[in-house]
Structures are given as C-alpha cells and as structure tokens.
Amino acid sequence: MSSDRRTLLRRTALGITAVLAGCLDRNGPSDGDEDGNVDSDDKRPTVESSDTLSLASNTSRPWWDDGNEVGHAVLIDGDERQRAAFEWLDPSEPQRERVGTFLSGIDYATERALLVESVGPNACYDRLEIDSIRVEDGTLRADATVSKPDASMGCAEVITFSSAVARIAFEGTPPDTTTVEVTNGWEETTTVRADIDDPIP
C-alpha cells in the first residue's frame, strides 16, 4: 500500500473517531447521576427574603451563658421548636405578642426562623442586630452585632443580654444548619453554629 493511501486512511479514521466522540458528548450522561441529572448551583437554596425583629433586653443570665460565651443561636424549623425557643419570654410582656405577630403564618416548608442572643457590659448595650443573611455551601449564614450606645448616655453598670429573631424565606429547600458571626458588647467576635436538632432546655 502506498504511503499516500495509508495517510488518507489514517485521516479518515481520525475524522470518524472525532465525530463519534462529539455524539457521545452531546447524547451521553454528563457529570451527575446515572440519568444525566447534573448537580447545579441553581438547585441550592437561596434567600428569597428576610426580616428581623429586635427583642427587649434583660439582665437575667440565660442558660447558655457561663460567663465566657459571646453569643448563642437557635435555628427553628417547626412550631414545636418555635414554642420551646421563646419559652423564656414572660407571657405578660408585650414582646411575646410581638414575636407571635412577627412569626405569624410562617411556613417552615419554605422558611426558617433564627434566634440570636448576645451580651454587653452595661444596660445601654440593649440591642442586637442581625444582618448579612445569606446561604453559603448549603448553610444559612448571618452576622449579629450588639449595637454600641451613644457615649454621652448614662448607663447602668449591669451585664445586659440582648436578642433578635430573623424570619427568612428561601427558594429551594431551607437549610438545616446555620453559622452566625456574633460580636458582643466588648467587641469580641466568635462563630456560633447551630442546627435544627440542637436541644433547647
């Protein structure tokens, strides 16, 4: 066989191989499961909307604080857990009604509630704010900071605990874990993690 004919056959074979490979790329399963379903960022939950409510501060030490804790978080995924999370609120105080109104009609199939608590050095550190609510790698993330008071204010020298609750609606299945960067009144920051299976005393 002449060298020209061998070259022609080799080029023809390479062309057929390339065409077959292109067909497989178009028609065969891509990265994903056996049915060709591809994992996509589009399937991950995203925050559709969020709202927050600051609660009245108090001076009673909560169960989670041993004197060294910067903050605490509770992720809520159902009515029973919601009742347990806010059991500490005095039924006679207006803020229990405020929380009830704020969470009224919540659909835990598409929403989560997030309770965050922290502490400050005096009575003027009485407000906690939750912001930067987002989902990263399937985990609900947020920042929570005890607001710094006006330096000109006279403040009672008593350790004060503040808290806030966020109501978050999602596109996709709501996350079951959360990570919150909490900054207390001493400007100490720590990462607080919580999930829907954490016990609530």
pLDDT in tens, 53-110: 999 999 999 999 999 999 999 999 999 999 999 998 877 778 889 999 999 999 999 9
pLDDT value of position 16:
44
Instruction: Indicate the pairing of strand 111-120 with strand 71-76.
Output: antiparallel
Angle at 63 between CA 59 and CA 64, to 5 degrees: 100
Q: How large is the average pLDDT for residues 7-26?
A: 45
pLDDT in tens, 96-126: 899 999 999 999 999 999 999 999 999 999 9
Determine if the pTM surpasses 0.85: no
Q: What is d(CA 153, CA 147) in angstroms, rounded to the nearest whole number? A: 14
Q: What is d(CA 158, CA 107) in angstroms, rounded to the nearest whole number? A: 38
pLDDT value of position 34:
53
